A and B are shown apart, each in its own frame.
Chain A
Amino acid sequence: MDWIVGIYNYRMVRPYVPLFLEGIGATIWIASVCLVLSILFGTALALARSSRRGIVWRPVAAYTQFVRSTPLLVQIFLIYHAIPLVMANPRLIGDTASGIIALTIHTSPYMAEIIRAGIASIPQGQSEAAMSVGMSYRQRMIHVVLPQAFANIAPPMLGQMAVLVKDTSLLSLIAVFELVSAGMTLMSERIAPNEAFITIAFSYLVIYFAMLVVTTKVQRRLGGAAWRAG
Protein backbone atom coordinates (compact mmCIF):
# COMPACT_ATOMS: atom_id res chain seq x y z
CA MET A 1 0.00 0.00 0.00
CA ASP A 2 3.00 2.29 0.30
CA TRP A 3 3.22 3.12 -3.37
CA ILE A 4 -0.24 4.68 -3.22
CA VAL A 5 0.81 7.02 -0.41
CA GLY A 6 3.47 8.42 -2.75
CA ILE A 7 0.77 9.54 -5.20
CA TYR A 8 -2.23 9.98 -2.94
CA ASN A 9 -1.62 10.27 0.79
CA TYR A 10 -5.03 9.31 2.16
CA ARG A 11 -3.78 9.84 5.73
CA MET A 12 -3.43 13.52 4.95
CA VAL A 13 -6.97 13.70 3.58
CA ARG A 14 -8.59 12.00 6.56
CA PRO A 15 -8.80 15.10 8.83
CA TYR A 16 -10.32 17.01 5.93
CA VAL A 17 -13.15 14.57 5.29
CA PRO A 18 -15.72 16.65 7.26
CA LEU A 19 -14.68 19.73 5.26
CA PHE A 20 -15.13 17.86 1.98
CA LEU A 21 -18.53 16.57 3.10
CA GLU A 22 -19.49 20.13 3.94
CA GLY A 23 -18.29 21.17 0.48
CA ILE A 24 -20.33 18.45 -1.21
CA GLY A 25 -23.35 19.55 0.84
CA ALA A 26 -22.83 23.18 -0.19
CA THR A 27 -22.48 22.21 -3.85
CA ILE A 28 -25.69 20.18 -3.78
CA TRP A 29 -27.50 22.93 -1.86
CA ILE A 30 -26.45 25.67 -4.31
CA ALA A 31 -27.30 23.47 -7.29
CA SER A 32 -30.76 22.66 -5.86
CA VAL A 33 -31.60 26.30 -5.18
CA CYS A 34 -30.50 27.23 -8.71
CA LEU A 35 -32.45 24.32 -10.14
CA VAL A 36 -35.72 25.39 -8.55
CA LEU A 37 -35.20 29.05 -9.45
CA SER A 38 -34.19 28.26 -13.02
CA ILE A 39 -37.15 25.95 -13.60
CA LEU A 40 -39.52 28.72 -12.42
CA PHE A 41 -37.75 31.45 -14.36
CA GLY A 42 -37.22 29.11 -17.32
CA THR A 43 -40.93 28.33 -17.53
CA ALA A 44 -41.69 32.04 -17.66
CA LEU A 45 -39.06 32.49 -20.37
CA ALA A 46 -40.41 29.53 -22.35
CA LEU A 47 -43.94 30.97 -22.30
CA ALA A 48 -42.64 34.41 -23.27
CA ARG A 49 -40.51 32.90 -26.04
CA SER A 50 -43.58 31.15 -27.55
CA SER A 51 -45.50 34.44 -27.60
CA ARG A 52 -46.53 35.82 -30.96
CA ARG A 53 -45.75 39.44 -30.01
CA GLY A 54 -42.30 40.54 -31.10
CA ILE A 55 -41.90 42.86 -28.14
CA VAL A 56 -42.25 39.85 -25.83
CA TRP A 57 -40.22 37.14 -27.56
CA ARG A 58 -37.42 39.18 -29.10
CA PRO A 59 -35.79 40.31 -25.81
CA VAL A 60 -36.03 36.74 -24.51
CA ALA A 61 -34.38 35.43 -27.68
CA ALA A 62 -31.60 38.02 -27.41
CA TYR A 63 -31.01 37.11 -23.77
CA THR A 64 -30.86 33.41 -24.66
CA GLN A 65 -28.33 34.03 -27.43
CA PHE A 66 -26.19 36.17 -25.14
CA VAL A 67 -26.07 33.49 -22.46
CA ARG A 68 -25.27 30.76 -24.96
CA SER A 69 -22.44 32.66 -26.65
CA THR A 70 -20.50 33.92 -23.63
CA PRO A 71 -18.60 31.86 -21.04
CA LEU A 72 -20.19 31.27 -17.66
CA LEU A 73 -17.08 32.72 -16.01
CA VAL A 74 -17.67 36.08 -17.71
CA GLN A 75 -21.33 36.01 -16.68
CA ILE A 76 -20.42 35.29 -13.06
CA PHE A 77 -18.01 38.24 -12.98
CA LEU A 78 -20.51 40.50 -14.74
CA ILE A 79 -23.18 39.77 -12.13
CA TYR A 80 -20.67 39.99 -9.30
CA HIS A 81 -19.65 43.49 -10.39
CA ALA A 82 -23.12 44.59 -11.47
CA ILE A 83 -24.66 44.12 -8.02
CA PRO A 84 -22.84 47.08 -6.40
CA LEU A 85 -23.92 49.22 -9.34
CA VAL A 86 -27.63 48.53 -9.06
CA MET A 87 -28.03 47.99 -5.31
CA ALA A 88 -28.09 50.82 -2.81
CA ASN A 89 -26.69 48.51 -0.17
CA PRO A 90 -24.65 45.74 -1.87
CA ARG A 91 -23.71 44.17 1.47
CA LEU A 92 -27.20 42.69 1.57
CA ILE A 93 -26.17 40.30 -1.17
CA GLY A 94 -23.26 38.09 -0.25
CA ASP A 95 -20.95 36.12 -2.53
CA THR A 96 -23.08 33.00 -2.36
CA ALA A 97 -26.25 34.87 -3.28
CA SER A 98 -24.57 36.63 -6.17
CA GLY A 99 -23.23 33.27 -7.34
CA ILE A 100 -26.71 31.77 -7.17
CA ILE A 101 -28.13 34.71 -9.13
CA ALA A 102 -25.45 34.32 -11.81
CA LEU A 103 -25.97 30.57 -12.11
CA THR A 104 -29.74 30.99 -12.30
CA ILE A 105 -29.38 33.60 -15.02
CA HIS A 106 -27.06 31.23 -16.86
CA THR A 107 -29.19 28.08 -16.52
CA SER A 108 -32.68 29.52 -17.09
CA PRO A 109 -32.41 29.93 -20.90
CA TYR A 110 -31.23 26.32 -21.24
CA MET A 111 -34.15 25.22 -19.07
CA ALA A 112 -36.47 27.39 -21.13
CA GLU A 113 -35.36 25.68 -24.34
CA ILE A 114 -36.04 22.27 -22.79
CA ILE A 115 -39.44 23.35 -21.46
CA ARG A 116 -40.35 24.90 -24.81
CA ALA A 117 -39.57 21.60 -26.53
CA GLY A 118 -41.76 19.91 -23.90
CA ILE A 119 -44.67 22.26 -24.55
CA ALA A 120 -44.27 21.73 -28.30
CA SER A 121 -44.43 17.97 -27.76
CA ILE A 122 -47.98 18.19 -26.37
CA PRO A 123 -50.51 17.70 -29.22
CA GLN A 124 -52.45 20.82 -30.17
CA GLY A 125 -55.69 18.88 -29.51
CA GLN A 126 -55.01 18.94 -25.76
CA SER A 127 -54.96 22.71 -25.73
CA GLU A 128 -57.99 22.93 -28.02
CA ALA A 129 -59.95 20.49 -25.89
CA ALA A 130 -59.15 22.54 -22.80
CA MET A 131 -60.23 25.66 -24.65
CA SER A 132 -63.53 24.08 -25.67
CA VAL A 133 -64.43 23.36 -22.05
CA GLY A 134 -63.91 27.04 -21.36
CA MET A 135 -60.46 27.13 -19.77
CA SER A 136 -58.47 30.35 -19.90
CA TYR A 137 -54.85 30.47 -21.16
CA ARG A 138 -53.64 30.33 -17.59
CA GLN A 139 -55.79 27.32 -16.71
CA ARG A 140 -54.86 25.51 -19.92
CA MET A 141 -51.17 25.93 -19.15
CA ILE A 142 -51.32 25.07 -15.44
CA HIS A 143 -53.74 22.16 -15.57
CA VAL A 144 -53.28 20.62 -19.01
CA VAL A 145 -50.15 21.52 -20.95
CA LEU A 146 -47.39 22.04 -18.38
CA PRO A 147 -47.98 18.86 -16.32
CA GLN A 148 -47.73 16.71 -19.44
CA ALA A 149 -44.79 18.72 -20.75
CA PHE A 150 -42.83 18.26 -17.53
CA ALA A 151 -43.39 14.50 -17.57
CA ASN A 152 -42.00 14.42 -21.11
CA ILE A 153 -38.88 16.45 -20.43
CA ALA A 154 -37.68 14.78 -17.23
CA PRO A 155 -34.70 13.10 -18.99
CA PRO A 156 -33.15 16.21 -20.64
CA MET A 157 -33.86 18.17 -17.49
CA LEU A 158 -31.92 15.70 -15.38
CA GLY A 159 -29.09 16.10 -17.88
CA GLN A 160 -29.21 19.85 -17.40
CA MET A 161 -29.13 19.27 -13.65
CA ALA A 162 -25.86 17.37 -14.00
CA VAL A 163 -24.44 20.33 -15.95
CA LEU A 164 -25.64 22.67 -13.21
CA VAL A 165 -23.81 20.67 -10.53
CA LYS A 166 -20.61 20.92 -12.59
CA ASP A 167 -21.12 24.63 -13.19
CA THR A 168 -21.21 25.38 -9.46
CA SER A 169 -17.45 24.66 -9.46
CA LEU A 170 -16.87 28.09 -11.04
CA LEU A 171 -18.36 29.80 -8.00
CA SER A 172 -15.18 28.90 -6.10
CA LEU A 173 -13.56 31.71 -8.12
CA ILE A 174 -15.73 34.36 -6.47
CA ALA A 175 -15.03 32.98 -2.98
CA VAL A 176 -18.21 30.96 -2.55
CA PHE A 177 -17.68 27.93 -0.32
CA GLU A 178 -18.37 24.67 -2.17
CA LEU A 179 -16.56 21.49 -3.15
CA VAL A 180 -13.66 23.09 -5.05
CA SER A 181 -13.13 25.64 -2.27
CA ALA A 182 -12.98 22.79 0.26
CA GLY A 183 -10.22 21.18 -1.78
CA MET A 184 -8.46 24.53 -2.14
CA THR A 185 -8.34 24.79 1.66
CA LEU A 186 -6.52 21.45 1.82
CA MET A 187 -4.29 22.61 -1.03
CA SER A 188 -3.28 25.83 0.70
CA GLU A 189 -2.88 24.40 4.21
CA ARG A 190 -0.87 21.33 3.28
CA ILE A 191 0.43 22.19 -0.22
CA ALA A 192 -0.85 18.85 -1.38
CA PRO A 193 -2.14 19.24 -4.96
CA ASN A 194 -2.56 15.51 -5.62
CA GLU A 195 -4.66 14.91 -2.53
CA ALA A 196 -6.69 18.08 -2.99
CA PHE A 197 -7.56 17.78 -6.68
CA ILE A 198 -7.97 14.03 -6.87
CA THR A 199 -10.39 14.18 -3.92
CA ILE A 200 -12.36 16.99 -5.60
CA ALA A 201 -12.55 15.12 -8.91
CA PHE A 202 -13.53 11.91 -7.15
CA SER A 203 -16.29 13.67 -5.17
CA TYR A 204 -17.77 15.16 -8.34
CA LEU A 205 -17.75 11.73 -9.97
CA VAL A 206 -19.54 10.25 -6.96
CA ILE A 207 -22.27 12.92 -7.25
CA TYR A 208 -22.43 12.33 -11.01
CA PHE A 209 -22.77 8.56 -10.78
CA ALA A 210 -25.40 8.88 -8.04
CA MET A 211 -27.37 11.18 -10.36
CA LEU A 212 -26.89 8.74 -13.23
CA VAL A 213 -28.47 5.95 -11.18
CA VAL A 214 -31.42 8.18 -10.26
CA THR A 215 -31.81 9.28 -13.90
CA THR A 216 -31.94 5.70 -15.13
CA LYS A 217 -34.55 4.85 -12.47
CA VAL A 218 -36.70 7.86 -13.39
CA GLN A 219 -36.46 7.11 -17.10
CA ARG A 220 -37.53 3.49 -16.57
CA ARG A 221 -40.39 4.59 -14.40
CA LEU A 222 -41.73 7.19 -16.81
CA GLY A 223 -41.14 4.84 -19.74
CA GLY A 224 -42.81 5.23 -23.12
CA ALA A 225 -42.91 8.67 -24.69
CA ALA A 226 -40.81 10.23 -21.95
CA TRP A 227 -37.97 7.85 -22.71
CA ARG A 228 -37.97 8.88 -26.36
CA ALA A 229 -38.19 12.61 -25.59
CA GLY A 230 -34.62 12.49 -24.25
Chain B
Amino acid sequence: MMGQYVDIFVEVLPFLLTGLWRTVVFSIFALVLGSVLGISLGLLRSLRLPIVHPAIGLYLHIFRGSPFLVQLYVVYFVLPNVGIELVSLSAGILALTLYASSYITEIAAASIEAVPRGQTEAARSCGMGTWQTYRYILIPQAMRMMLPPLASVYVIVVKSTSLFSMIGLSELMRVGFTTAQREPAYVFLIYVIVAGLYFVYCYPILRFARWAELKVGSHMTEIL
Protein backbone atom coordinates (compact mmCIF):
# COMPACT_ATOMS: atom_id res chain seq x y z
CA MET B 1 0.00 0.00 0.00
CA MET B 2 2.60 2.51 1.15
CA GLY B 3 5.08 1.14 -1.36
CA GLN B 4 2.88 2.21 -4.27
CA TYR B 5 2.91 5.81 -3.09
CA VAL B 6 6.66 5.76 -2.71
CA ASP B 7 6.99 4.36 -6.25
CA ILE B 8 4.77 7.08 -7.68
CA PHE B 9 6.66 9.70 -5.69
CA VAL B 10 10.02 8.52 -7.03
CA GLU B 11 8.58 8.32 -10.54
CA VAL B 12 7.05 11.80 -10.75
CA LEU B 13 9.60 13.76 -8.72
CA PRO B 14 12.12 14.32 -11.57
CA PHE B 15 9.38 15.82 -13.79
CA LEU B 16 8.13 18.05 -11.03
CA LEU B 17 11.67 19.20 -10.27
CA THR B 18 12.12 20.38 -13.87
CA GLY B 19 8.91 22.37 -13.36
CA LEU B 20 10.24 23.79 -10.11
CA TRP B 21 13.42 24.85 -11.88
CA ARG B 22 11.40 26.81 -14.46
CA THR B 23 9.33 28.37 -11.68
CA VAL B 24 12.58 29.51 -10.06
CA VAL B 25 13.85 31.01 -13.33
CA PHE B 26 10.57 32.77 -14.18
CA SER B 27 10.18 34.19 -10.70
CA ILE B 28 13.74 35.52 -10.55
CA PHE B 29 13.32 37.17 -13.97
CA ALA B 30 10.04 38.79 -12.99
CA LEU B 31 11.38 39.89 -9.60
CA VAL B 32 14.50 41.53 -11.07
CA LEU B 33 12.59 43.31 -13.85
CA GLY B 34 9.78 44.22 -11.47
CA SER B 35 12.29 45.66 -8.98
CA VAL B 36 13.93 47.83 -11.63
CA LEU B 37 10.57 49.17 -12.78
CA GLY B 38 9.08 49.38 -9.29
CA ILE B 39 12.04 51.15 -7.67
CA SER B 40 12.20 53.68 -10.51
CA LEU B 41 8.48 54.39 -10.24
CA GLY B 42 8.71 54.50 -6.43
CA LEU B 43 11.51 57.09 -6.49
CA LEU B 44 9.56 59.08 -9.05
CA ARG B 45 6.46 58.89 -6.88
CA SER B 46 8.31 60.05 -3.77
CA LEU B 47 9.23 63.29 -5.58
CA ARG B 48 5.53 64.20 -5.49
CA LEU B 49 5.54 65.92 -8.86
CA PRO B 50 2.20 67.14 -10.21
CA ILE B 51 0.55 64.85 -12.81
CA VAL B 52 3.26 62.17 -12.39
CA HIS B 53 2.28 61.42 -8.78
CA PRO B 54 -1.46 60.82 -9.45
CA ALA B 55 -0.61 58.99 -12.69
CA ILE B 56 1.54 56.49 -10.79
CA GLY B 57 -1.22 56.29 -8.17
CA LEU B 58 -3.70 55.27 -10.86
CA TYR B 59 -1.24 52.69 -12.20
CA LEU B 60 -0.99 51.19 -8.71
CA HIS B 61 -4.76 51.10 -8.28
CA ILE B 62 -5.27 49.39 -11.63
CA PHE B 63 -2.72 46.66 -10.93
CA ARG B 64 -3.74 46.12 -7.32
CA GLY B 65 -7.45 46.32 -8.03
CA SER B 66 -7.69 43.54 -10.59
CA PRO B 67 -6.74 39.87 -10.16
CA PHE B 68 -3.41 38.75 -11.57
CA LEU B 69 -5.21 36.05 -13.56
CA VAL B 70 -7.17 38.74 -15.42
CA GLN B 71 -4.04 40.82 -16.00
CA LEU B 72 -2.31 37.77 -17.41
CA TYR B 73 -5.24 37.09 -19.76
CA VAL B 74 -5.31 40.71 -20.89
CA VAL B 75 -1.58 40.70 -21.66
CA TYR B 76 -1.71 37.31 -23.35
CA PHE B 77 -4.95 37.62 -25.33
CA VAL B 78 -5.56 41.34 -25.82
CA LEU B 79 -2.13 42.80 -26.56
CA PRO B 80 -1.56 40.64 -29.70
CA ASN B 81 -4.84 42.03 -31.08
CA VAL B 82 -3.65 45.60 -30.79
CA GLY B 83 -0.41 44.91 -32.60
CA ILE B 84 1.94 43.79 -29.84
CA GLU B 85 3.14 40.28 -30.69
CA LEU B 86 4.05 38.21 -27.64
CA VAL B 87 4.85 34.54 -27.10
CA SER B 88 3.58 32.99 -23.87
CA LEU B 89 6.94 33.38 -22.15
CA SER B 90 7.26 37.10 -22.78
CA ALA B 91 3.56 37.64 -22.04
CA GLY B 92 3.91 35.87 -18.68
CA ILE B 93 7.09 37.66 -17.69
CA LEU B 94 5.65 41.03 -18.79
CA ALA B 95 2.41 40.56 -16.85
CA LEU B 96 4.22 39.41 -13.72
CA THR B 97 6.78 42.23 -13.97
CA LEU B 98 3.99 44.81 -14.08
CA TYR B 99 2.16 43.11 -11.22
CA ALA B 100 5.29 42.87 -9.05
CA SER B 101 6.23 46.46 -9.85
CA SER B 102 2.91 47.67 -8.43
CA TYR B 103 3.88 46.23 -5.03
CA ILE B 104 7.51 47.35 -5.25
CA THR B 105 6.60 50.92 -6.24
CA GLU B 106 4.58 51.27 -3.09
CA ILE B 107 7.38 49.79 -0.96
CA ALA B 108 10.04 52.01 -2.51
CA ALA B 109 7.97 55.18 -2.11
CA ALA B 110 7.08 54.30 1.48
CA SER B 111 10.73 53.54 2.33
CA ILE B 112 11.92 56.88 0.98
CA GLU B 113 9.21 58.64 2.93
CA ALA B 114 10.08 56.71 6.08
CA VAL B 115 13.54 58.30 6.17
CA PRO B 116 13.24 61.07 8.77
CA ARG B 117 12.63 64.51 7.33
CA GLY B 118 15.62 65.95 9.16
CA GLN B 119 17.90 63.91 6.91
CA THR B 120 16.63 65.64 3.80
CA GLU B 121 16.74 69.03 5.48
CA ALA B 122 20.31 68.46 6.66
CA ALA B 123 21.35 67.39 3.16
CA ARG B 124 19.71 70.43 1.62
CA SER B 125 21.37 72.77 4.10
CA CYS B 126 24.77 71.28 3.18
CA GLY B 127 24.04 72.45 -0.35
CA MET B 128 23.08 69.11 -1.88
CA GLY B 129 20.67 69.10 -4.81
CA THR B 130 17.67 66.77 -5.10
CA TRP B 131 19.69 64.20 -7.04
CA GLN B 132 22.56 64.26 -4.52
CA THR B 133 20.15 64.01 -1.60
CA TYR B 134 18.64 60.89 -3.15
CA ARG B 135 21.95 59.39 -4.20
CA TYR B 136 23.88 59.88 -0.94
CA ILE B 137 21.26 60.25 1.80
CA LEU B 138 17.83 58.82 1.01
CA ILE B 139 18.47 55.78 -1.19
CA PRO B 140 21.16 54.17 1.05
CA GLN B 141 18.88 54.45 4.08
CA ALA B 142 15.73 53.41 2.23
CA MET B 143 17.44 50.32 0.75
CA ARG B 144 17.82 48.84 4.22
CA MET B 145 14.13 49.23 4.95
CA MET B 146 13.08 47.86 1.58
CA LEU B 147 14.72 44.48 1.93
CA PRO B 148 12.24 42.66 4.21
CA PRO B 149 9.08 43.65 2.29
CA LEU B 150 10.88 42.87 -0.97
CA ALA B 151 11.39 39.31 0.25
CA SER B 152 7.64 39.07 0.88
CA VAL B 153 6.97 40.32 -2.64
CA TYR B 154 9.31 37.62 -3.91
CA VAL B 155 7.04 35.02 -2.30
CA ILE B 156 4.00 36.66 -3.94
CA VAL B 157 5.81 36.54 -7.29
CA VAL B 158 6.69 32.85 -6.89
CA LYS B 159 3.10 32.00 -6.00
CA SER B 160 1.80 34.03 -8.94
CA THR B 161 3.94 32.09 -11.41
CA SER B 162 1.59 29.16 -10.76
CA LEU B 163 -0.93 30.98 -12.99
CA PHE B 164 1.49 30.77 -15.91
CA SER B 165 0.13 27.24 -16.29
CA MET B 166 -3.00 28.87 -17.76
CA ILE B 167 -1.14 30.30 -20.75
CA GLY B 168 0.76 27.10 -21.44
CA LEU B 169 4.12 27.69 -19.79
CA SER B 170 5.36 24.44 -18.30
CA GLU B 171 6.26 25.59 -14.80
CA LEU B 172 5.66 23.58 -11.64
CA MET B 173 1.85 23.82 -11.63
CA ARG B 174 1.56 22.93 -15.31
CA VAL B 175 3.89 19.96 -14.89
CA GLY B 176 1.68 18.98 -11.95
CA PHE B 177 -1.42 19.06 -14.19
CA THR B 178 0.14 16.92 -16.90
CA THR B 179 1.53 14.45 -14.37
CA ALA B 180 -1.91 14.23 -12.74
CA GLN B 181 -3.43 13.43 -16.11
CA ARG B 182 -0.94 10.64 -16.63
CA GLU B 183 -1.52 9.14 -13.17
CA PRO B 184 -5.23 9.83 -12.55
CA ALA B 185 -5.37 7.49 -9.57
CA TYR B 186 -2.82 9.56 -7.65
CA VAL B 187 -4.03 13.08 -8.41
CA PHE B 188 -4.17 14.08 -4.77
CA LEU B 189 -0.70 12.75 -4.01
CA ILE B 190 0.71 14.66 -6.98
CA TYR B 191 -0.81 17.95 -5.86
CA VAL B 192 0.52 17.31 -2.36
CA ILE B 193 4.02 16.94 -3.81
CA VAL B 194 3.54 20.09 -5.91
CA ALA B 195 2.43 21.98 -2.80
CA GLY B 196 5.42 20.58 -0.92
CA LEU B 197 7.83 21.82 -3.59
CA TYR B 198 6.33 25.32 -3.53
CA PHE B 199 6.60 25.21 0.26
CA VAL B 200 10.26 24.20 0.17
CA TYR B 201 10.96 27.16 -2.09
CA CYS B 202 8.84 29.83 -0.41
CA TYR B 203 9.07 29.04 3.28
CA PRO B 204 12.78 29.95 3.71
CA ILE B 205 12.14 33.26 1.93
CA LEU B 206 9.25 34.02 4.27
CA ARG B 207 11.42 33.16 7.28
CA PHE B 208 14.14 35.43 5.93
CA ALA B 209 11.58 38.23 5.49
CA ARG B 210 10.47 37.93 9.09
CA TRP B 211 14.05 37.75 10.39
CA ALA B 212 15.10 40.75 8.31
CA GLU B 213 12.09 42.69 9.49
CA LEU B 214 13.00 42.14 13.13
CA LYS B 215 16.57 43.14 12.34
CA VAL B 216 15.65 46.32 10.48
CA GLY B 217 12.80 47.07 12.83
CA SER B 218 10.33 48.20 10.19
CA HIS B 219 6.81 46.90 9.80
CA MET B 220 6.39 47.46 6.14
CA THR B 221 5.46 43.88 5.33
CA GLU B 222 2.07 44.84 6.72
CA ILE B 223 1.26 47.11 3.79
CA LEU B 224 1.18 44.03 1.58
Contact = CB atoms under 8 A, between A and B. Distances in A.
Contacts of B68: 166
Interface in B155-195: 155, 158-160, 162-163, 165-166, 173, 176, 187-188, 191-192, 194-195
Contacts, number: 108
Contact of A170 (B62, B69, B74, B192): B69
Interface in B52-107: 61-62, 64-71, 73-74, 77-78, 81-82
14 contacts: A69-B198, A69-B202, A73-B173, A74-B173, A74-B195, A78-B192, A81-B187, A81-B188, A172-B69, A194-B82, A197-B70, A201-B70, A205-B61, A205-B66
A166 B206 contact: no
B7 interface: no
Interface in A167-188: 167, 169-170, 172-173, 180, 187
Nearest to A162: B65
Interface residues of B, number: 39
B199 A66 contact: yes
Contact of A197 (B62, B74, B201): B74
A41 interface: no
A208 interface: yes
B206 A65 contact: yes
Contact of A169 (B67, B155, B162, B195): B67
B15 to A, nearest CB: 16
B65 A209 contact: yes
Contacts of B222: 156
B136 interface: no
A109 to B, nearest CB: 12
A121 interface: no
A190 interface: no
A7 interface: yes
Nearest to B158: A71
Interface string A34-61: 0000000000000000000000000000
A208 B82 CA distance: 26
A169 B69 contact: yes
Interface of B: 61-62, 64-71, 73-74, 77-78, 81-82, 155, 158-160, 162-163, 165-166, 173, 176, 187-188, 191-192, 194-195, 198-199, 201-203, 206, 222
A78 B195 CA distance: 9
Instruction: Label chain A's interface by main secondary structure.
Output: helix
B77 A197 contact: yes
A204 B203 CA distance: 31
A65 B70 contact: no
A78 B192 CA distance: 7
B59 to A, nearest CB: 12
B71 A201 contact: yes
A75 B67 contact: no
Nearest to A85: B188
Given A201-B70, A205-B65, A74 B78 contact: no
A77 interface: yes
Contact of B78 (A167, A169, A193, A209): A193
A166 B66 contact: yes
A194 B163 CA distance: 20
A72 interface: yes
B12 to A, nearest CB: 15
Nearest to A65: B203
Interface in A201-216: 201, 204-205, 208-209, 212
A204 B66 contact: yes
Nearest to A195: B78
A71 B188 contact: no
A81 B191 contact: yes
A208 B206 contact: no
Which 7 A-B residue pairs are closest in the complex by CB-CB distance? A208-B65, A193-B77, A169-B67, A69-B202, A71-B162, A71-B159, A166-B67
B74 A78 contact: no
A220 to B, nearest CB: 19
